[in-house]
């Protein structure tokens, strides 16, 4: 994932940030269920391949994310808006995800449910990205 972050940044600068981010989420969505299905089996090599693809896609997404955030808000509120959006969303979702994952696993006994939850979040990400305006290479002032 770390190696793909600068590649994502370059691609998002060269092309359209929104397209790079949506493409990476889309490929991740395609890999979620196969990745979790191979987790409990004898397909370690295939599982590692899916892990690498998903990790690389996350890196591609993160590569253009900071610039996308900066371009999404007017200059006079940019820092505050990014800090609030990032801080609140990460504390609510990233902070509680391990707890909910544990509850889901205990109640269902299936890791495929976790793939379903991740898939649902990916759908929300795609919807949010589709609604936002891409301002790649536009003046920010």
**What are the structural domain ranges in the chain?**
4-131
Total-model pTM: 0.88
**Per-residue pLDDT for 136 more than 90?**
no
CB burial class (10 A; 0-12, 13-18, 19+) of residue 17?
buried
| Contacts of residue 15, Cβ cutoff 8 Å, sequence gap at least 6 | 136
Helix (H) or strand (E) holding 39: none
| Contacts of residue 77, Cβ cutoff 8 Å, sequence gap at least 6 | none
pLDDT digits (tens, 9 = 90+) for 68-119: 988 888 889 999 999 999 899 999 988 899 999 999 999 998 889 999 999 9
The values of phi and psi at residue 62, to 5°, are: -70, -25
**Residues 129 and 21: beta-carbon distance below 8 Å:** yes
pLDDT of residue 39: 86
């Amino acid at each position: 994932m770390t190696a793909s972050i600068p590649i994502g940044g370059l691609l998002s600068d060269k092309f359209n940030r929104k397209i790079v981010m949506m493409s990476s989420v889309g490929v991740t969505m395609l890999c979620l269920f196969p990745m979790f299905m191979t987790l409990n089996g004898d397909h370690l090599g295939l599982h590692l391949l899916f892990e690498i693809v998903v990790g690389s896609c996350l890196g591609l997404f993160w590569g253009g994310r900071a610039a996308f955030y900066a371009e999404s808000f007017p200059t006079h509120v940019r820092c505050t808006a990014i800090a609030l959006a990032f801080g609140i969303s990460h504390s609510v979702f990233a902070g509680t995800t391990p707890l909910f994952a544990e509850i889901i696993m205990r109640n269902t006994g299936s890791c495929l449910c976790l793939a379903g939850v991740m898939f649902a979040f990916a759908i929300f990400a795609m919807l949010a990205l589709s609604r936002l305006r891409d301002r790649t290479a536009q003046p920010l002032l």
